[in-house]
Amino acid sequence: VQTCALPISIWAVSMLDGPRPALGLFFPVSLRTLLLSFALCYAALSLVFRRTADQTERQIVPLTLHYRGKTVSLRALRDTGNGLYDPLSGDAVCVAEAPALAPLFDAEIQRCLTLNDGLEMFSALACTENGAGTFRLIPYSSLGTETGLLAAFRPDSTFTDGKPVPDLLVAVSPAPLCRDGEYAAIL
């Protein structure tokens, strides 16, 4: 659609200056006409895509995690572009904020979750009695971070919208995932 819109709009705007003879597939067009055509196409396409983006709402879903007899419920953004997975098992990985996950763990692990670096957090967790062997490292890349590591664990069970989610790991994000606090996890 975009590839056809520009030549047609250039032709239409050039007709405002009066008809000109076509030379094969070449239409002589003034620079003013060309710039006006680009501006009109940009404005029209921007309007269409903004309306489309406004109509597609972010899908926030309830997420419930059970781990060693404890439960947390939080709001999660269902991100269709989330391609994070565990390279060893191939299982999908959800990312959740450390403070939202803290009630699942004892005080010693909670202290480790406050560390701001994934590798540092994992190293500290590996030295705790309950964290050793429980957490693993998940490599990731994101906007602003070419590569990084997140500490992750496997909950006993996970539910979203009341339905079980099998084979899901939960990575701990030391940084907030949402500025306004609308959600605390990304699926």
The size of the chain, in residues, is 187
Identify any residues that bridge with 71 across adjacent strands, giving them in sequence order. Answer: 66
pLDDT band at 55 (very low <50, low <70, confident <90, very high): very low
- In this prediction, residues 35-61 reach a mean pLDDT of 73
Compute the average pLDDT of residues 68-88: 90
Residue 139 clears pLDDT 60, i.e. is over it:
yes
According to the model, what pLDDT value does residue 132 have?
80
Mean pLDDT value of segment 7-18 = 63
pLDDT of amino acid 12: 66
**pLDDT greater than 70 at residue 104:** yes
Asked whether the beta carbons of 184 and 100 are under 8 A apart, the reply is yes
